[in-house]
Amino acid sequence: EAAEITAYFVIAEALANVAKHSGASEARVRARRERGLPRNEKRLGDLLVVEVEDDGRGGANPNGPGLKGLADRALVLDGRLTVESPVGGPTRVRAELPWGSQNGG
């Protein structure tokens, strides 16, 4: 449940940023399960991956309070959040969150 809640907040915050700041005419949301490496490797098993991408002007600050807060939420779950937003666009926010429990659930 924690991964799903975090995914919701990532999508909601990223779309709010698109609407407020990007000047984008379009945004895309993707969510999927990715098979990861065995839990004792670099990635902890399967992942819930969510991505929000827009065609706006770019230049998003990953250290701003909204995106930094999302990165902190992902980190608490042993996940990660990445932001790609070169000036001129596009912007992509991607969260990789552990899927299921540490016991393979």
Cα radius of gyration (the chain): 14
Q: What pLDDT shows up at residue 45?
A: 77
> Tokens 């969260």 identify what position?
95
Q: Are the CB atoms for 76 and 55 separated by under 8 Å?
A: no
Tell me which amino acid residue 74 is. Answer: A
Cα torsion angle, 95, 96, 99, 103, sign: negative
* pTM: predicted TM-score of the whole model, two decimal places: 0.85
Backbone angles phi, psi at 100, to 5 degrees: 80, -175
The secondary structure of residue 100, as a DSSP letter, is S
Q: What pLDDT shows up at residue 99?
A: 83
State the pLDDT confidence band at 35, using cuts at 50, 70 and 90: confident
Please report, in angstroms and rounded to a whole number, the separation of the first and last CA atoms in the chain: 12
